[in-house]
């Protein structure tokens, strides 16, 4: 299976841990220049706070947003409400940054955006709602650029696929997906 396209025209929603990891690997610049990146306001705030724990991370999200390299629109409360409603039967805790990313993903009428996370709950949720093809791992993004970095499991395609499958199985077992 070929990795999903991450061309500059494709909208890529990125969660906090992936932002930090991409900076640690020194691949953030490649991502923001080769993909159309959207970071919800909550994710920007979380990433800035977490980056302070690292001496060697030069996180310039505010400048990149100002320069138009990264978009960070605000999200209406009604969009978050829709995701919370759809999450009600889901057996997992989705944090605010993840929730905002999912809200943007669910609100994408063209259904072309992808979400990149390192949290199992995000991929489980995508499996739960049968949107597994809307997730992407950092490994898949980097392979699309021709980079092959050894990554921690939570940043790999196999991690994404495993947790997406688990979410689908959970929804099926609970009767939310009919055979």
- pLDDT, tens only, 32-60: 999 999 999 999 999 999 888 887 788 99
Domain 11-173 class, CATH top level: alpha beta
Rounded Cα distance, 56 and 24, in Å = 8
pTM assigned to the model: 0.88
Rounded Cα distance, 71 and 66, in Å = 9
Query: What pLDDT score was predicted for residue 8?
Result: 52
How many angstroms separate the first and last alpha carbons of the chain? Answer: 25
The answer on pLDDT for 149 being more than 90 is: no
Could you tell me the pLDDT band of residue 76, with boundaries at 50, 70 and 90?
A: confident
Cβ 74 vs Cβ 41: under 8 Å: yes
Rounded Cα distance, 21 and 9, in Å = 23
Residues 6+ apart with CB under 8 A from 10: 4, 35, 36, 112, 113, 114
What letters, b where the CB count within 10 A reaches 16 and e where it falls short, cover 85-94?
eebeebebeb
Cα–chain center distance at 134: 9
- Nearest Cα neighbor of 95 from 47, 138, 43 is 43
- pLDDT, tens only, 4-37: 444 455 789 999 999 999 999 999 999 999 999 9
Cβ 9 vs Cβ 38: under 8 Å: no
Q: Please report, for the chain, the start and end positions of each structural domain, with discontinuous segments joined by +.
A: 11-173
What tokens were used for 46? 């979380």
């Amino acid at each position: 299976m070929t990795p999903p396209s991450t061309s500059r025209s494709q909208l890529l929603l990125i969660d906090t841990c992936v932002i930090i990891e991409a900076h640690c690997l020194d691949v953030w610049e490649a991502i923001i220049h080769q993909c159309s990146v959207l970071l919800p306001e909550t994710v920007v705030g979380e990433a800035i706070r977490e980056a302070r724990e690292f001496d060697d991370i030069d996180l310039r999200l505010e400048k990149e947003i100002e320069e138009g390299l990264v978009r960070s629109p605000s999200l209406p409360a009604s969009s978050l409400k829709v995701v919370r409603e759809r999450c009600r039967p889901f057996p997992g805790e989705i944090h605010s940054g993840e929730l905002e990313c999912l809200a943007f993903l669910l609100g994408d009428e063209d259904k072309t955006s992808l979400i990149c996370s390192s949290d199992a709950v995000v991929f489980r949720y995508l499996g739960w709602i049968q949107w597994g093809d809307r997730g992407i791992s950092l490994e898949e993004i980097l392979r699309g650029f021709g980079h092959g970095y050894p990554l921690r499991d939570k940043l790999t395609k196999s991690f994404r696929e495993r947790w997406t499958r688990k979410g689908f199985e959970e929804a099926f077992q609970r009767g939310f997906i009919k055979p």
